[in-house]
A and B are shown apart, each in its own frame.
Chain A
Amino acid sequence: EVQLLESGGGLVQPGGSLRLSCVASGFTFRSYAMNWVRQAPGKGLEWVSGIGGTTYYLDSVKGRFTISRDNSKNTLFLQMNSLRAEDTAVYYCAKLSYYDSSGYFNYWGQGTLVTVSS
């Protein structure tokens, strides 16, 4: 059974930093691209970043967020710097259907809430 377990969310002041983690199990982690998708309170879904053979970012987080992975620990990360109020959201870890091409999100974690507020 595929499981994705996020952690690292919390309350942070504007301009602060946070590191999210997602531990995966139930599939060969290194063989699939992994992504972060967020959902602001009461809003829709927004793709943030992905990592497979290449890394990809939403324009509004480029230069502030860094996605990475540790295949030896089946773990995905999102380092978030210079956080803004508009980054407030539940952040979901999502497994992509493929490794090195575009695809859909066939498994999702339960999400971790990031709140950026003073």
Chain B
Amino acid sequence: DIQMTQSPSSLSASVGDRVSITCRASQGISNSLAWYQQKAGKAPKFLLYAASRLESGVPSRFSGSGSGTDYTLTISSLQPEDFATYYCQQYYSFPYTFGQGTKLEIK
């Protein structure tokens, strides 16, 4: 199975800050990577696919990058509604696996 490791596990930031979350795969996944946002008590929301392609309707302050085993989700200017937990997911091979999550909190 492909292991996905996110860092950091938690992050405190302020509105307007630029933040980045990293996801590392245990083997190359050829950009087969998605990102999700989950707020407390709610279902995950799909944000990006193919490492860098933004889902329709997702604000452009979200962006993704990376290749091989290392990927990054960046939020260019944090808004109050962005404070949530973020997960990466590889879909290169079964079983699909997720990172452990990064909780983004208000400083």
Report A's interface with B, CB cutoff 8 A: 35, 44-47, 50, 56, 58-59, 92, 97, 102-111
Stretch at the interface among B10-18, B19-27, B41-49, B71-79: B41-49
Q: For A58, what are the chain B residues with a Cβ–Cβ distance below 8 Å? A: 95
Q: Is the CB of B89 within 8 A of A104?
A: yes
Q: For A46, what are the chain B residues with a Cβ–Cβ distance below 8 Å? A: 98
Q: For B69, what are the chain A residues with a Cβ–Cβ distance below 8 Å? A: none
Which secondary structure dominates where chain B touches chain A? loop
Of B44, B94, B100, which contacts A102 at CB under 8 A?
Answer: B94
B97 to chain A, nearest CB (A): 7
Q: Is the CB of A104 within 8 A of B43?
A: no
Q: Which of B44, B96, B100 has the most CB of A within 10 A?
A: B96
Q: Is the CB of B43 within 8 A of A111?
A: yes
Q: Is the CB of B98 within 8 A of A102?
A: no
Q: Is the CB of A103 within 8 A of B95?
A: no
A37 to chain B, nearest CB (A): 8
Among B55-92, those with CB < 8 Å from A are 55, 87, 89, 91-92
B90 to chain A, nearest CB (A): 9
Q: For B87, what are the chain A residues with a Cβ–Cβ distance below 8 Å? A: 44-45
B84 to chain A, nearest CB (A): 13
Q: How far, in whole Å, are A111 and B42 apart by their CA atoms in the complex?
A: 8
Q: For A45, what are the chain B residues with a Cβ–Cβ distance below 8 Å? A: 36, 38, 44, 87, 89, 98, 101
5 cross-chain pairs, A with B, having the tightest CB-CB distances, nearest first: A104-B34, A47-B96, A108-B43, A45-B98, A102-B91
